[in-house]
Structure 1
């Protein structure tokens, strides 16, 4: 059932990744599996490369602009306090960016630090996992806002 998770980029290309929000210039915007920070998204770079530095400068620009457009969509739809951007590649060794909304309601000991310091179970616990039943409306709103932003900002 979750075979698409074994190859998230390939499944996005094939059209069977249910988390895809939009095909962008530099890859695919997807809603994150855990939604304990509502609106968490990822930009999956496509074509697949190891890191931002493997791209030509113009393609780097596309990736970073796409990442910021996802942040704009999250801001418009979810109204967070701010948005954090994170490009790591330590676990999944291909270019991707995490776009995390941060909220006023987060505990003080959490909001000052990277989201990776949240309890490990937040990333896998069932109640936070993306599903169309729980997050379908959020997904639709993010898709609509991304389409609007791409139309306005892509030349």
Structure 2
């Protein structure tokens, strides 16, 4: 996760990154990374301070093309770290 976090910072020019590590009933852990940008409603506060209707609004969802571009940017930075 440290490499993914570093790649996030380099690819997306973040102001900070919130981490959430959860252990579920099954024996595994999973992570959530919340990239934080100044353009969001509450960039320096917990991500949960943003209303759900804002967080999940259609206007914030990337198009398929944009999503592909974002994935490529992240993978490019990850490859540089390996």
| TM-score of the aligned structures, taking structure 2 as reference length | 0.73
How many residues are aligned here? 81
Q: CA deviation at 1:95?
A: 2.0
Q: 1:111 to 1:70 in 2, by over 3 A?
A: same
Q: CA deviation at 1:143?
A: 1.0
Q: 1:89 to 1:125 in 2, by over 3 A?
A: farther
Q: From 110, 118, 132, give the equivalent of 2:50.
A: 118
Distance 2:58 2:40 in 1: 20
Q: CA deviation at 1:137?
A: 1.1
Relative contact order, higher structure (CA 8 A, sep 6+): 2
1:18 alignment partner in structure 2: none
Unpaired runs of 5+ residues, structure 1, are: 1-66
| TM-score of the aligned structures, taking structure 1 as reference length | 0.44
**4+ residue segments displaced more than 3 Å:** none
